[in-house]
Amino acid sequence: MPQTSAAAAMTPETGIDRLHQLVRDDLERVDALLLDVAKNDVTLIPEISKHLIVSGGKRLRPMLTLASARVCGYQRGMHHVTLAAAVECMHTATLLHDDVVDGSSLRRGQPSANALWDNKSSVLVGDYLIAQAFRLMVRAESLPVLDILSDAAATIAEGEVLQLATMHQLDAGKDAYFRVIAAKTAKLFAAACEVGAELSDQRAHRTALRTYGHALGMAFQLTDDALDYGIGTSEKRLGKAIGDDFRDAKVTLPVILAYAAADASERRFWERAFTPGQQQKEDWQQARQILARHQALEQTRAEAGRFLQEAAAALNNLPESQEKSALLEVLEFCAARTY
């Protein structure tokens, strides 16, 4: 069970490094598959795909698929590698479309694809990668797996559309916000874990790993939301511009909590700062002060902590193994992470 105090004593790298070491060989195979998928004589396709694939993502989702398959005793072949690549490929496609929709200029510390090329190319290469993700899934020859991942793809898109409709609503409320991030972020974490379990004969573990993935994904997104307000991190470390959510007037949990607790003057501040065209440069510092006054970032990370506990509990009935320990350490990484 992750504790904030234990997590603070541990460097974040430890939490994810054990998992990385355990699946290192398979992860290299995943990378090779991804580069293979990006190969195309239409040069824009490998250029844009590789820009994202080699740009230093944490590969957390494919590692979850690989570890989940191993936790459940999968040893019969290489389908876990194929599916891990499919999951990362789907994630990469989502990033390309996300950056178009958000108008982002930075991704993982590098200029985003839509900034380097253009929106059109990002949309179409994203479509190409979604299709390639499905081609990889088909190679794993499992209809239940295809069911899980096509359902996830639909839910992710649904979450993105829902976010578009609600992202500027200061009074959206925690539950509505949780619905958005459950769909757009946590669903792929859940599916990444679940397909690993589905490959083995241990079907009983499927629910446990889906629950673990969902809760980890929720915590991961909430931590992202807090980090975007720049507590305990820097742009360089985070690999993306701090304050993007605020500048884009994207309402995330810290703001929802601070707005709910605001006095009349603070409410007026948030309403103006989140009105298109009304935000001023000095608002950023004031936003951080108000968030600090209401401990909104601490509360957000505490919500993340509750999901991390839920994730840990989900693994209770799984047999002990190195992979299970590594999955538990991922939760500590998430609790402590600054990037």
Binding site residues, a copy of itself, CB under 8 A? 40, 42-45, 97, 100-101, 119-121, 123-125, 127-128, 130-132, 134-135, 137-138, 141, 143, 146-147, 150-151, 153-154, 156-158, 160-162, 164-165
Residue closer to a copy of itself (CB basis): 125 or 193: 125
Residue closer to a copy of itself (CB basis): 24 or 120: 120
CB of 190 to a copy of itself, least distance (A): 15
CB of 117 to a copy of itself, least distance (A): 10
CB of 168 to a copy of itself, least distance (A): 13
Residue closer to a copy of itself (CB basis): 247 or 324: 247
CA 184 – CA 151 distance, rounded (Å):
12
65 token code pair? 């698929």
CB of 272 to a copy of itself, least distance (A): 24
CB of 100 to a copy of itself, least distance (A): 6
CB of 139 to a copy of itself, least distance (A): 9
Residue closer to a copy of itself (CB basis): 180 or 311: 180
CB of 336 to a copy of itself, least distance (A): 33
Residue closer to a copy of itself (CB basis): 148 or 308: 148
Sign of CA dihedral 84, 85, 86, 89: positive
CB of 231 to a copy of itself, least distance (A): 29
3-state secondary structure the chain: CCCHHHHHHCCHHHHHHHHHHHCHHHHHHHHHHHHHHHCCCCCHHHHHHHHHHCCCCCCHHHHHHHHHHHHCCCCCCCHHHHHHHHHHHHHHHHHHHHHHHHCCCEECCEECHHHHCCHHHHHHHHHHHHHHHHHHHHHCCCHHHHHHHHHHHHHHHHHHHHHHHHCCCCCCCHHHHHHHHHHHHHHHHHHHHHHHHHHCCCCCHHHHHHHHHHHHHHHHHHHHHHHCCCCCCCHHHHCCCCCHHHHCCCCCHHHHHHHHCCCHHHHHHHHHHCCCCCCCCCHHHHHHHHHHHCCHHHHHHHHHHHHHHHHHHHCCCCCCCHHHHHHHHHHHHHHHCCC
CB of 184 to a copy of itself, least distance (A): 10
Residue closer to a copy of itself (CB basis): 8 or 131: 131
Residue closer to a copy of itself (CB basis): 152 or 297: 152
**Residue pair 214/198 in contact by the 8 Å Cβ criterion:** no
Burial class of residue 175 (count of CB atoms within 10 Å of its CB; 0-12, 13-18, 19+): exposed
**Residue pair 241/235 in contact by the 8 Å Cβ criterion:** yes
